[in-house]
Every structure is written in structure tokens, then in C-alpha cells.
């Protein structure tokens, strides 16, 4: 028995969209560390990008941040408001699109902090974490499936010189992994 084909038309209100987010943080503790960069790419349920340019924001944290907290707050709030506006442009219906990414639970922990909380509140409570798919494949799939997982540099391309050079390649690699999992025959 074969599965019913997936509809190729975009559902209304953003239903089924995947909101791929990748954050660069000062560390891994959301109570003491902060987001420095955010990139967002939104795809259809079939993993087609809706806006090839995506959304990118860099939160500038000056050395004397404590002395000029209001400037830092304005920059941070502008990045958060811009991200929310970008997500709502494609997924206007609250809780209709999923947060997606590689080890995206960590990004979600940071995004649950103010001023980013409204972004998480707008998204569905479920997430699509490709690192979980990759870990499941390592344990339960044939070796040829696991061997076919592209390395980050291969999936991203040869121009990638450092991880901090651009956050978008992290999402490119995550979508590549999701496409591979989607295309594998799971019978």
C-alpha cells in the first residue's frame, strides 16, 4: 500500500510551513548568554524555500554594553520584531508553522527569552529537529542510508570557510538532511 501524495499547493494561513531558524549565541546558557545572530528560512511542507533570501539579523553587542544598555536593547528588540514580522509574512495564522532546524531545541530555548518570545508563541509547539532524525537513522536505518548523509561542507558548498562566516549555510545543511530523510523509501 502506498501513501497518498502530498498536496503541492501551499495551505492557507501557513499551515504546514517549516520555519528554519539558526542562532549564533555567546554561549549555551539561555539565562546568561545571548543571541548574536539569527537566520531564518521558511520552506513549504515539501521543503521548497518560499523566499530564497531568507531573513538575517545581527545583534551588535558593543564592548561597553552595560554602559549603553538602551542601545543594545533597541538593536535586540529590532531584530526580534523583524524576525516575527518575517515569519508572519509567510505564516500569518498563529501556531500553524513548525520551528525547524538542526539541534533546534537549543535555539528555541534562547528564543523563549524576551524579546524573542513572541516568535515562539506564534509558532506551533512542536518542532522538526533534523539532528533527531539523523540520530534515529544511525540507530534504525540501513548503513547505506547513514552513509549517504552529506557532510556539512559538502551540503553547503566549497565557499564555506568558517562556521561564523554565515549562519544561512547551517539551515541549508539542515534542509538538505530533511530532504534526504524525506526521499528515503521507508517501507
1 in a domain, yes or no? no
What does the longest C-alpha to C-alpha distance in the chain come to?
65
Partnered with residue 101 across adjacent β-strands are 129
Alpha helices in 19-100 (DSSP H): 69-90
62 in a domain, yes or no? yes
Q: Taking a C-beta distance cutoff of 8 angstroms, is the pair 141, 112 a contact? A: no
Instruction: Going residue by residue through the chain, which has 187 residues, state the pLDDT in tens, using 9 for 90 and above.
Output: 334 444 444 455 667 899 999 998 888 888 888 888 899 999 999 999 999 899 999 886 656 554 544 565 666 778 899 999 999 999 999 999 999 999 999 999 999 999 999 999 999 999 999 989 888 888 887 887 777 766 665 444 444 433 343 446 788 888 888 887 777 655 5
Instruction: Give the structural domain span for 71.
Output: 15-181
> In total, how many domains does the chain have?
1
Find cell 552513509 and name the residue: 147
Which residues are catalytic, by number?
A: 125
10 in a domain, yes or no? no
- Quote the CA–CA distance of 30 and 163 in Å, as a whole number: 21
Query: How much is the pLDDT for 13?
Result: 64
5 in a domain, yes or no? no
- Quote the CA–CA distance of 182 and 133 in Å, as a whole number: 10
Query: How much is the pLDDT for 7?
Result: 43
121 in a domain, yes or no? yes
- Quote the CA–CA distance of 177 and 187 in Å, as a whole number: 19
Rounded to two decimals, the pTM is 0.75
Query: How much is the pLDDT for 166?
Result: 47
6 in a domain, yes or no? no
9 in a domain, yes or no? no
120 in a domain, yes or no? yes
Amino acid at each position: 500500500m502506498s501513501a497518498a501524495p502530498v498536496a503541492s499547493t501551499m495551505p492557507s494561513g501557513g499551515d504546514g510551513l517549516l520555519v528554519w531558524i539558526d542562532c549564533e549565541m555567546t554561549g549555551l546558557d539561555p539565562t546568561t548568554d545571548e543571541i548574536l545572530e539569527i537566520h531564518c528560512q521558511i520552506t513549504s511542507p515539501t521543503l521548497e524555500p518560499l523566499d530564497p533570501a531568507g531573513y538575517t539579523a545581527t545583534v551588535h553587542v558593543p564592548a561597553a554594553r552595560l554602559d549603553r544598555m538602551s542601545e543594545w536593547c533597541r538593536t535586540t528588540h529590532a531584530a526580534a520584531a523583524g524576525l516575527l514580522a518575517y515569519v508572519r509574512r509567510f505564516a500569518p495564522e498563529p501556531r500553524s508553522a513548525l520551528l525547524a532546524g538542526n539541534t533546534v531545541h537549543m535555539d528555541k530555548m534562547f528564543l523563549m527569552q524576551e524579546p524573542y518570545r513572541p516568535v515562539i508563541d506564534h509558532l506551533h509547539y512542536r518542532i522538526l529537529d533534523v539532528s533527531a532524525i539523523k540520530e534515529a537513522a544511525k540507530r534504525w536505518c540501513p548503513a547505506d542510508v547513514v552513509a549517504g548523509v552529506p557532510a556539512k561542507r559538502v551540503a553547503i558548498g566549497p565557499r564555506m570557510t568558517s562556521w561564523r562566516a554565515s549562519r544561512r549555510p547551517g539551515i541549508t545543511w539542515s534542509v538538505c538532511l530533511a530532504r534526504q530523510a524525506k526521499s528515503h523509501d521507508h517501507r
